[in-house]
Structure 1
Amino acid sequence: MSTVSEPGGIEALYPFLAPGPVDREAVLADLRESTRRKAAEIVELRRSLVALHAERLVACAREMAAAFDAGARLFAFGNGGSSTDAQAVVQLFAHPPSPARAVAAVPLAQDVALLTALSNDVGYELVFARQLAALGRPGDVAMGLSTSGGSANVLNAMGEASRRGLLTVGLVGYDGGPMAQDGRVAHLFVVPSVSVHRIQEAQITLCHVLWELAQRALTGEL
């Protein structure tokens, strides 16, 4: 296990934390270059998603809008950073800026008591599937976010949602992982990157695009 005093330890990532004298100007130059490079990466990745997913984003948004017009609710879920993004998506759909139309939406990771109970009594791999089994109705929308596409609880939730007649929307990274292999998701959007940071940044952009397109479809503009 590396320490701050070993080569390649934490000072390799955060040189300003290393003991001893530090070349402040060199550190700042490295930070500027790292920031520039990361900004360029996310801009390039987001632009590539237009060609990759544009038509399917429109198709998905139209189906979501039709579901919302019929009274559907949105259930969004994920783990870690993806859970935070799922909650942000729910906030956007349920409490949009005026005059956009609000949609009933629920983040499945918001209830700590429920999550811990299901994890302890049933198993963490079913924390989202069991909620959809109890709450989901045919025609509702289930949106799962995963960087790897292989999170067992997200995959199980997508399977449960499909069996119960929910419209399924998945956002994943890398090559799509298991979520892209068995056709369990009606609308799948893969962010082709191996960086968790870039994947999640692009996924939240895709979610905002879906919201904007769904709003246009709800008003008949799309």
Structure 2
Amino acid sequence: MSLDSLYPFLYSGGDDSAAVLEQVHQSTRAKVAEIARLRERVLETEERRLLECAGAMAVRFAAGGRLLAFGNGGSSSDAQDLASLFLSSGRGALCLTNDIAAVTALSNDVGFDVVFSRQVAAFGRVGDIAVGLSTSGDSLNLLRAFDEAARRGLLTVGFAGGGGGRMAELDTLDFLFTVPSPSVHRIQEAQTTLYHVLWELTLGGRK
């Protein structure tokens, strides 16, 4: 998708600043309305499963389990945010993209496809929780991480966009939350809402 299709008012060739500002205003309002509707739709659809997932996570945390979060690109930032939420609430959590030495060593020496599964194998324990985030649901390194986590007895939780991609085909995912949108931006915005809700349901928002 080209930039001029996303922001036509910036590439129209005109010099009417008032008109451009009005188009920016309309575009912003449309995007805000779009994500508001999407969040409402997703939360309504996923309410029961969010409660179930939060209950399962709470049991594992109470037994000393930890959360292992992972994702690529912007989803890596979301994984870091998710891990920090639980850490701030006094629960064990780590993001598998934080250790740059481990990430680059595995990527260089073995392959990027195993960058998360190898860490799950090293750090994951029975009773831990593996949470992976993706906008497409097709990231091979996430798929392999979920398979490894399931083999080791971890609770597996995935976040994806669209129809869930290849993550929707996994039988190693205990919970998969999808955001039905073709927009990467709207998917990540809605996923942020979903995992914040999951955090609050699991821990009551206590810090």
TM category (shorter chain) comes to: over 0.9
Q: Quickly say closer, same or farther: Cα 1:21–1:178, change in 2 above 3 A.
A: closer
Name the residue aligned to 1:45. Answer: 38
Match of 1:27 in 2: 20
Matched pairs, number: 206
The question of 1:162 aligning with 2:150 is answered: yes
Q: CA deviation at 1:113?
A: 1.4
Q: 1:216 Cα shift?
A: 3.6
Q: Deviations over 1:130-162 (max 9, x none)?
A: 000000001100000000110011111011100
Q: 1:199 aligns with which of 187, 193, 197?
A: 187
1:3 counterpart residue number:
none
Listed as ranges, the gaps of 5+ residues in structure 2 are none
Distance 1:162 1:120 in 2: 26
Change in CA separation of 1:20 and 1:192 when aligned onto 2, cut-off 3 Å: closer
- Report the equivalent of 1:105: 93
Structure 1 segments (4+ residues) deviating >2 Å:
8-21
CA distance in 1, matches of 2:13, 2:205: 60
What TM-score, normalized to structure 1? 0.87
The 2-side partners of 1:55 and 1:68 are apart by 20
| One-letter amino acid of the counterpart of residue 48, structure 1 | R
Matches within 5 A, 1:64-75: 64-75=57-68
Quote the residue 2:55 is aligned against: 62
1:133 alignment partner in structure 2? 121
Mind listing any 5+ residue stretches in structure 1 that lack a counterpart?
Answer: 1-7, 97-101
TM-score (norm 2): 0.93
Aligned mates of 2:12, 2:193 — CA distance in 1: 39
Distance 1:31 1:194 in 2: 22
Larger deviation, residues 190-199 vs 208-217 = 208-217
1:112 is displaced (CA, Å) by 1.3
Amino acid at match of 2:203: Q
RMSD over aligned Cα, in angstroms?
2.1
* Contact 1:170 1:188 (8 Å CA) reproduced: yes
CA–CA distance in 2 between the matches of 1:206 and 1:62?
15
